[in-house]
């Protein structure tokens, strides 16, 4: 059974995340780095002017070139306050996006508790790659990248979250455990990540492109046409102002359908990690 947050616990977690976000925004403004709020953060800004009340994370994305610059600046400017965690730095990190971790905190989920990379309260940062506009070519490209991204997760997490319960969950986990063992026999995390990165960067020199993150749980939904993305607009997110795509309606409809409709009450809950510790 999933553990849920106490109200004060969730509020404090969100305060930590907002502090990371504020520092992130300041670095982006000071260094002219492009970023956008996306996914549940975009939905929260439009529908709630901040967090979705039961949500426990903040998602931002930036073009790959700016993503690299951000990491270099953050690691120098905030080396005592934050740790940048990604698959290039840690050989058991299972994701393509990275976490900016608030040092001195812990945020550990059940499926990742056996892993040794730093796990704390974090800001999710997603690299956006240049992707072809041609739909058939784009689909072939993102599906290949998406499958490899899933293999990276399975390599490090043999028992991932699956959309099943009971007997079917056990069957799924037998399958994921076997796949994980096979992957680990034949390829290292570093090698697999390098293959994924090289594939993701295949169209970085293209002149006519869209921005895309290939590794969302549902493939092919996190993409941005230039005309929907620019000019960026600022919207309030709690006490901060955060950049979002210009045409949030198109992007949110693609991902959520009737996004202004609240989910049923039984689904308005956040799932707390197995370990959550605040600084001091």
Cβ(24)–Cβ(69) under 8 Å? no
Q: What is the mean pLDDT of residues 29-42?
A: 94
Q: What is the mean pLDDT of residues 201-216?
A: 93
Flag whether pLDDT at 232 surpasses 90. Answer: yes
- Report the alpha-carbon distance of residue 174 to residue 250 in Å, rounded: 39
- Report the alpha-carbon distance of residue 221 to residue 216 in Å, rounded: 8
Q: What's the chain's average pLDDT?
A: 92
- Beta-bridge partner residues of 185: none
pTM of the model: 0.91
- Beta-bridge partner residues of 240: 237
C-alpha count within 13 angstroms, C-beta hemisphere, residue 187: 17
Flag whether pLDDT at 2 surpasses 70. Answer: no
Flag whether pLDDT at 169 surpasses 90. Answer: no
Report the pLDDT value the prediction gives residue 3, as an integer from 0 to 100. 79
Lowest mean pLDDT among 93-97, 108-112, 193-197, 232-236: 108-112
Q: What is the mean pLDDT of residues 221-236?
A: 94
Cα distance between the two ends of the chain: 29
CA of 13: how far to CAs of 98, 199, 222, in Å? 18, 35, 26
Cβ(158)–Cβ(59) under 8 Å? no
- Report the alpha-carbon distance of residue 90 to residue 97 in Å, rounded: 13
Flag whether pLDDT at 1 surpasses 60. Answer: no
Q: What is the mean pLDDT of residues 5-16?
A: 91
Q: What is the mean pLDDT of residues 193-212?
A: 94
> Could you report the per-residue pLDDT of 38-60, keeping only the tens digit for each?
999 999 999 999 999 998 899 99
Give the H or E element holding residue 121: none
Q: What is the mean pLDDT of residues 101-105?
A: 95
- Report the alpha-carbon distance of residue 112 to residue 119 in Å, rounded: 9
- Report the alpha-carbon distance of residue 90 to residue 39 in Å, rounded: 26
Report the pLDDT value the prediction gives residue 161, as an integer from 0 to 100. 78
pLDDT more than 70, % of the chain: 99
Query: Tokens 């730095």 correspond to what residue?
Result: 89
Q: What is the mean pLDDT of residues 184-191?
A: 94
Phi, psi of 112 (to 5 degrees): -115, 10
């Amino acid at each position: 059974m999933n553990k849920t947050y106490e109200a004060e616990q969730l509020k404090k977690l969100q305060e930590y995340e907002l502090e990371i976000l504020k520092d992130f925004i300041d670095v982006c403004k000071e260094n002219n780095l492009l970023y956008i709020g996306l996914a549940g953060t975009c939905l929260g800004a439009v529908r709630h002017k901040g967090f979705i009340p039961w949500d426990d994370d903040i998602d931002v994305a930036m073009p790959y070139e700016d993503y690299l610059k951000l990491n270099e600046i953050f690691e120098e400017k905030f080396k005592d306050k934050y740790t940048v965690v990604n698959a290039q730095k840690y050989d058991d990190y299972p994701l393509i996006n990275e976490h900016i971790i608030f040092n001195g905190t812990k945020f550990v989920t059940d499926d990742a508790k056996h892993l040794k990379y730093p796990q704390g309260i974090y800001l999710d940062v997603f690299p956006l790659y240049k992707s072809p506009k041609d739909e058939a070519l784009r689909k072939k490209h993102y599906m290949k990248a998406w499958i490899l991204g899933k293999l990276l997760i399975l390599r490090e997490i043999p028992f991932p979250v699956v959309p099943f319960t009971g007997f079917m969950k056990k069957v799924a986990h037998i399958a994921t455990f076997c796949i994980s063992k096979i992957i680990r026999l034949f390829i290292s995390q570093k090698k697999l990540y390098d293959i994924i990165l090289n594939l993701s960067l295949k169209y970085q020199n293209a002149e006519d492109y869209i921005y895309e993150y290939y590794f969302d749980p549902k493939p092919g939904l996190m993409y941005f046409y230039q005309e929907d993305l620019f000019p960026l607009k600022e919207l309030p997110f709690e006490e901060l102002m955060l950049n979002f795509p210009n045409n949030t309606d198109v992007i949110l409809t693609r991902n959520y359908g009737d996004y202004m409709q609240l989910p049923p009450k039984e689904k308005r809950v956040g799932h707390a990690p197995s370990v959550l510790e605040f600084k001091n």
